[in-house]
Amino acid sequence: MSSPLADAVKLPCGLVFPNRLSKAAMAELMAKTNHPNPKLLDAYESWAEGGWGCILTGNVQVDVDHMGSPFDPALHSEYTGKDEALLSEWKKYADACQKHGTPAIVQICHPGRQSFRVAGRRGIFGSTLAPSAVPMNIGNGWLESIVAAITWSQPREMTRADIERVIRQFVDTARLAADAGFAGVELHGAHGYLLDQFLNAKTNIRSDEYGGTPAKRARFVLEILAEIRKVVPADFCVGIKLNSADHNSATFEDTMAQIKLLVEAGIDFMEVSGGSYEDTRMMGYTSQTTPQAPKSERTAAREAYFLEFAKGVRQRHPKLILMLTGGFRSRAGAEAALKDNACDLIGIARPAAVDPKWPMKLLDESIPDDKVQLQLNKAPVPFFARWLPLYLVGAGAESTYYADQIQRFARGLHD
> What pLDDT score was predicted for residue 341?
92
- The b-or-e profile of 208-239 (16+ CB within 10 A means b, else e) is eebbeebebbbbbbbbbbeebbeebeeebbbb
Residue 355 lies in a domain: yes
Query: How many angstroms separate the Cα of 200 from the Cα of each of 191, 245, 309?
Result: 11, 11, 16
Closest alpha carbon to 5 in 362, 310, 320: 362
Q: Which amino acid is residue 378, in one-letter code?
A: K
Residue 248's pLDDT is 60
Q: How many CB atoms lie within 10 A of CB 360?
A: 15
Asked if the structure places residue 230 within a domain, the reply is yes
Question: For residue 113, what are the domain limits?
Answer: 4-410
Rounded CA separation 266/262 (Å): 7
What is residue 307's predicted lDDT score, i.e. its pLDDT? Answer: 83
Look at residue 415 and tell me if it is in a domain. Answer: no
- From the list 4, 1, 2, the residue with the least C-alpha distance to 345 is 4
Which pLDDT value is given to residue 144? Answer: 84
165: domain CATH number is 3.20.20.70
pLDDT digits (tens, 9 = 90+) for 224-260: 999 999 999 999 999 999 987 665 666 789 999 999 9
Task: Note the pLDDT of residue 344.
Answer: 97
List pLDDT tens digits, range 54-68: 999 999 999 999 999
Comparing CA positions, the residue from 352, 374, 397 lying closest to residue 52 is: 352
Residues of the chain whose pLDDT is less than 70? Answer: 1, 245-250, 275-305, 379-396, 414-415
DSSP per-residue string spanning 366-390: TS-GGGSB---PPPPPPGGGTTS-H
- CA distances (Å), 278 to each of 253, 272, 396, 401, in order? 23, 18, 12, 20
Q: How many domains does the chain have?
A: 1
Within-domain flag for 195? yes
Q: How far is 415 from 413, CA to CA, in rounded Å?
A: 7
Q: Which of 402, 414, 415 is nearest to 58 (CA)?
A: 402
